Amino acid sequence: MKTDFHFILFGLLIITFIFGTHSLGLCEENERITVEVNGRPKKYDVIETKRYEIVEVENPAVTPAALKSVAEQAVADAERDAVAHLNRTLWFTTGCFFPFVGPIFSQRHQPFMPTARVLGKSPQYVAFYYDAYKVKTKKLQFNWALGGCLVGAPISGYLLIRLYRSTRD
């Protein structure tokens, strides 16, 4: 009876971990809001980091060509920083010790955004940088956790079989 309770509790914890943030209304959404201040409309962006912040957006005259070069530069910088800042050992061992939960956790984990890299940059650069950094970091985290899962699952299976056989003899 006591082991059944532990399995039920463990199952509830996993379900809460996987679906918990969506049920609490903490979904990831970026939005632009317009508020009238002193008779003039002002635009604000809600930017997601570890908490929500509202940042005023000025209407710069940005040409599509300039925006494309800003986007390309921001994406290149973000991907380079994501590769440099990733803790490969952490995600590999997470995949090894938690073979099936590790890759799922790597997709649910929100990476820490390096705010020092975007100080003094345009709002367009910041938006492209954060999006590209998040996508690249989650992809790398998943790949390393999956690699750990591919190593850890057979080892865990072998150890469980050995444990089972030793208790049967």
pLDDT digits (tens, 9 = 90+) for 6-46: 667 677 667 666 655 444 444 444 566 676 666 777 776 65
Share of the chain above pLDDT 70, in %: 64
* Tokens (6 digits) for 20: 């918990």
pLDDT digits (tens, 9 = 90+) for 124-151: 889 889 999 999 999 999 999 999 999 9
Q: What is the pLDDT of residue 22?
A: 46
Asked if 43 and 60 touch (Cβ cutoff 8 Å), the reply is no
**Model pTM score:** 0.57
- Give domain limits for the chain: 1-59, 60-169
